[in-house]
A and B are shown apart, each in its own frame.
Chain A
Amino acid sequence: MPARGFMRNFRPLEILTEEQMESIHRGSLDVLEHTGIRFESEKALKLFEKNGCKVDFENKRVRFPPGLVEECLRRCPTSFHLRARNPKNDLNLSANNPTYFCVFPGMRTVDIDTWEPRTPTIEENHNAVKVLDSLEHVHLSVSYVPYCELEGVAPAMLLPTSCWSRMKYFTKPFRVGQAEESWLWGIQMAQVLDIDVFGSFESAPPLTWYGDAIECAWAHAEAGFPIEVGCGAVLGGTGPATFAGGLVASNAEMMSGIVLVQLLRPGLGTIANCFVFPQNMRTGAPGFGQIGISLFQAGYTQMWRAKYGLPTLLGACGPMASKLPDAQYGYEKAMACTIGALSGGSIINAIGGLHGELTYHPVVSVLDNDMAGMIGRFLEGLHVNEETLALDLIQQVGPIPGFFLGESHTRENWHKEQFVPQVFDQLTYTEWQAAGKKSAIDNAKERVNELIANYEHDLPEDKEVELDRILEEAKHYYHKKGLM
Chain B
Amino acid sequence: MSVFDDLKSAVIEYNQNKAAASAQTIVDEGLDPLEGLDAISEAMTYVGNGYSTGTLWLPDLVGAAGASQAAMPILEEEIRKRGQQSKSLGTIVLGTVAGDIHTIGKSMVGVLLVAQGFRVVDVGADTPASRFVEAVREETADILALSALLTTTAPQMGKVIDALKEAGLRDRVKIMVGGGAITQEFADMIGADGYGSTAPGAVELAKKMLNLPV
Contact = CB atoms under 8 A, between A and B. Distances in A.
Contacts, number: 32
Interface in A378-426: 400-401, 403, 405-406, 408, 410-411, 414
B34 interface: no
B11 to A, nearest CB: 13
A386 to B, nearest CB: 21
Interface in B58-100: 58-60, 62-63, 65-66
Given A403-B103, A405-B104, A434 B14 contact: no
A406 B125 contact: no
A431 B197 CA distance: 8
A429 to B, nearest CB: 9
B101 interface: yes
B21 to A, nearest CB: 17
Given A430-B197, A430-B198, A401 B125 contact: yes
Contact of A411 (B14, B101, B107, B198): B14
Nearest to A414: B59
A403 B107 CA distance: 12
Contacts of A403: 103
Contact of A434 (B57, B62, B198): B198
B201 interface: yes
A334 to B, nearest CB: 24
Given A403-B103, A430-B197, A434-B198, A408 B63 contact: yes
A406 B59 contact: yes
Contacts of B65: 406
Interface residues of B, number: 19
Nearest to A411: B59
B101 A406 contact: no
A183 to B, nearest CB: 44
Contacts of B14: 408, 411
B66 A406 contact: yes
A63 B65 CA distance: 75
Given A400-B101, A411-B14, A405 B197 contact: no
Interface string B88-132: 000000000000010110010000000000000000111000000
Given A430-B198, A434-B197, A434-B198, A405 B101 contact: no
B27 to A, nearest CB: 25
B53 to A, nearest CB: 14
A423 to B, nearest CB: 12
Nearest to B124: A401
Nearest to B197: A430
Interface in A334-363: none
Contacts of B63: 406, 408, 411
Nearest to B58: A405
Contacts of B104: 405
Contacts of A414: 57, 59
A431 B198 contact: yes
A297 B60 CA distance: 43
A428 B149 CA distance: 13
Nearest to B126: A401
B62 A405 contact: yes
A201 to B, nearest CB: 45
B145 to A, nearest CB: 17
A401 B124 CA distance: 10
B59 A405 contact: yes
Interface in B196-210: 197-198, 201
Interface in B170-186: none
A411 B57 CA distance: 9
A431 B199 CA distance: 10
B175 to A, nearest CB: 20
Contacts of A430: 197-198
B103 A411 contact: no
A408 B66 CA distance: 11
A390 to B, nearest CB: 14
Contacts of B125: 401
23 contacts: A400-B101, A401-B101, A401-B124, A401-B125, A401-B126, A403-B103, A405-B58, A405-B62, A405-B104, A405-B107, A406-B63, A406-B65, A406-B66, A408-B14, A408-B63, A411-B14, A411-B60, A414-B57, A414-B59, A430-B198, A431-B198, A434-B198, A434-B201
Interface of A: 400-401, 403, 405-406, 408, 410-411, 414, 428, 430-431, 434
Given A406-B62, A414-B59, 10 more contacts: A401-B101, A401-B126, A405-B107, A406-B63, A408-B63, A410-B59, A411-B60, A411-B63, A414-B57, A430-B197
Interface of B: 14, 57-60, 62-63, 65-66, 101, 103-104, 107, 124-126, 197-198, 201
Lowest 5 A-B CB distances belong to which pairs? A406-B62, A430-B197, A411-B59, A410-B59, A406-B66
